[in-house]
Amino acid sequence: MITIITSVALCLIAVVIHEVSHGFVAYKLGDTTAKDMGRLTLNPIAHIDAVGTFIVPIGLALIHSPISFGWAKPVPIDFRRLHHPKKDMIWISLAGPAANLLLATGLSLLLHTGIISELKIGGNPIIFIAILINLFLAIFNLIPIPPLDGSRILIGLLPPAQAYKYSKLEPYGFIIVFSLLYFGIIEKVLYPLILTLMRFLYAG
């Protein structure tokens, strides 16, 4: 139970940072929607989504799933208020995964300092899980399937006509994602990338 609670708490922190990063970059690029709605805060209460924040992570932990993830309420973004909507969409979408990668890197540097071990509080396993969760969230969200961040980036890069056609997949996005998870396809693709990044961070 302690492991489940710890994993859910770490997942909540990671997804909140992920969403706030989207909103912060949008704010810097001209859209104040998230700020006006009080969503540019690290207070988790403002971002909690009952299903994505609790039910899915706890359910996965209870069934001993090799994959642990969740999500918070998406930060509201009004692309009409951006200075350059199509180009800005790319930077806003990259912000979430980039924040998780930076957090994972910072936590790995903390491990390398030896401070956690010296405190003798058993923090190393917690830091390890936190790094793993942040790496997974970063890479998972870069998959180019709507509504994941990777699809927003791809839409921003595609010519308008192709981008419009691709965006039509969004209503079916979660069905596609969970189908790929169910058949283990995402796991087979993501795990090698995550392990490679873990080795890189621990060797740094």
Catalytic site residues? 19
Cβ 33 vs Cβ 77: under 8 Å: yes
The whole-angstrom separation of Cα 132 and Cα 127 is 9
The whole-angstrom separation of Cα 17 and Cα 47 is 10
CA dihedral 22, 26, 31, 35 (to 10 degrees): 50
The whole-angstrom separation of Cα 34 and Cα 38 is 6
Structure tokens at 110: 């903390």
> At 101, is the secondary structure helix, strand, or coil?
helix
- What's the N-to-C CA distance of the chain in angstroms? 33
